[in-house]
Amino acid sequence: MALITCQHTNNYFEFVLLPNSHTQYDTFDVYDYSFTKDAFYNVMDKFKNTKYKPFEKQHKEYIYEDLCLENYDNKELKLYKKHLVSCKHMKDFVVLGYNRTKQSVVNFPSTLSIASTRYVKRLIFRISNRVYVNFETSIPESMDTITYCIYVNYNHDENVDLIAINRDLQNALMIVSA
């Protein structure tokens, strides 16, 4: 089954694993993507026993409308616009398709109307130069609750080998959802 086809105009995809069922309403679906701590670390430990080597990223994230500002220990700032274009529920995960563009940091407004602020720690396994498996823990600034999330992200471009990309995505999803 091809997860990515040449018909996509999105340039960034997240395949978010769903450890729990989702709730359907008349006009929208609600997905619970948070793993329990034990389940999260069990999947992570399984992935650590593969050939893929991890690297880690930590940052504080600020969301304002469709802008996301990532602050890496006050040394590096990254800003991007992330617009959700598509959402598709598949068996054990939901596929979110975005148009994501880098922005200059000066485009982030000086405002008190920040939608959310959270601390993010991510262990990332590089599957290929476009496909990554992410084990993310996050804590909203206003709460003490840790969220445990697992997702595979794919950075799309026009001239990619879709057969290889789909193979990489399927392999990654097979390991994390087994």
What's the CA gap between 124 and 138, in Å, rounded? 14
Domains of the chain (ranges, CATH numbers):
12-18+33-177 (3.20.100.10)
The whole-model pTM stands at 0.88
Residue 15: exposure state from Cβ atoms within 10 A (0-12, 13-18, ≥19):
buried
Measured in degrees and rounded to the nearest 5, phi and psi for residue 138 equal: -145, 150
pLDDT in tens, the chain (178 residues): 555 555 566 889 999 988 865 555 555 566 667 888 999 999 999 888 889 999 999 999 999 999 999 999 878 999 999 999 988 888 788 889 999 999 999 999 998 888 889 999 999 999 999 999 999 999 988 777 899 999 999 988 878 888 888 899 998 988 888 6
Q: What are phi and psi of 163, to 5 degrees?
A: -65, -45
